[in-house]
Amino acid sequence: MDAVKRAGLDSLEPQAETKKIQERWAIARSMTAGSDEYFGRMKTIVVRREKLVEMLFPASDYTVIISAHPSFPLGKIPQLESLLNNLRAEGD
């Protein structure tokens, strides 16, 4: 899993923990896959924490994880979904 972050920002977790956190997200996502048949494909996972909001956008072979300030307006999530879908369609 490759992590890309915005220039000038430091991660909240130690770099040694990043891969472990990403692996836990992959496990969590795989645990929900069995429900796709009944409820449809998972579009977004949103986790609100004290220090940030984490948004996971699963694709078939990768997951985009976006973190934002805790005050990020959750109503903007559909815009992020649309942007990511457009990027996928363009092959980026």
Within-domain flag for 26: yes
Give the DSSP letter string of 59-89. Answer: -SS-EEEEEE-TT--GGGHHHHHHHHHHHHH
* Domain-located, residue 44: yes
Domain count, the chain: 1
Read off the pLDDT of residues 29-71 as tens digits, 9 standing for 90 and up: 777 778 888 998 888 889 899 999 999 888 777 788 888 999 9
Q: Is residue 67 part of a domain?
A: yes
Which residues touch 3 (CB under 8 Å, ≥6 apart)?
18, 22
* pLDDT tens per residue across span 70-82: 999 999 999 999 9
Residue 6 domain flag: no
Helices (H) and strands (E) in the chain, counts: 3, 3
pTM of the model: 0.69
> Is residue 47 assigned to a domain?
yes
| Any domain includes 51 | yes
- Among 3, 66, 59, CA closest to 33: 59
CB 45: neighbour CB atoms within 10 A?
16
Residue 84 lies in a domain: yes
The answer to the question of residue 5 being in a domain is no
Q: Supply the range of the domain harboring residue 75.
A: 15-90
